[in-house]
Structure 1
């Protein structure tokens, strides 16, 4: 039996899972074949943007909160105490991009796995990335 594939999710992927269908479907489809992780800060970021996006789309924010909470059953939260040992390397890799994304890079370095994101800030960092349009190629070959 092969090890499960692993992916680190960016906050924008969590939000797409809340407000869309495709990401949530992929998470549910591959939950038994892959493991999904996100640094603690990404759930916090998603929570911050939930109300703004819900209001802009005329959606019930409570439903969004329930969906985001449900994602915690599919996506494992990685505590800062685990990924902070990779902070300096992650910051170095992200320094010419969005330095605030270092926890995602650090989690990827910790777990030695790619990042699922729509954010181009990771491109050129030396960390493998997948976008929603093609992540199933990675997941399907489990």
Structure 2
């Protein structure tokens, strides 16, 4: 399935060398995923690829929108999907712009309040470490 995706979007992926190019392609993949609701495996691969591109583009808002799409399309709790996305940001080792860091920290801390109340302490601990 991923090989199919790579073949289908090969030209676009090779041209998406800039952050804005990656963000545009991520948005296009989300649109394709929404149109592919009848093929859930393909939809999942498209959304995960879009999420990866959004993170590479350093587009925090887009990546979180995609996590919400993943949650709603696949009956995953939104807090879990958002936590996974935020923790992917934590693995980035390059400096991010101040606004991106601030948004990530705010999103992480807001999510911690909810997940502590729900009893998901492992997720809360990971997000608190990231928000530091």
TM-score, structure 2 as length reference: 0.28
TM-score, structure 1 as length reference: 0.27
Bigger relative CO (Cα 8 Å, ≥ 6 apart)? 1
Structure with the higher fraction of residues in helix conformation: 2
Structure with the higher fraction of residues in strand conformation: 1
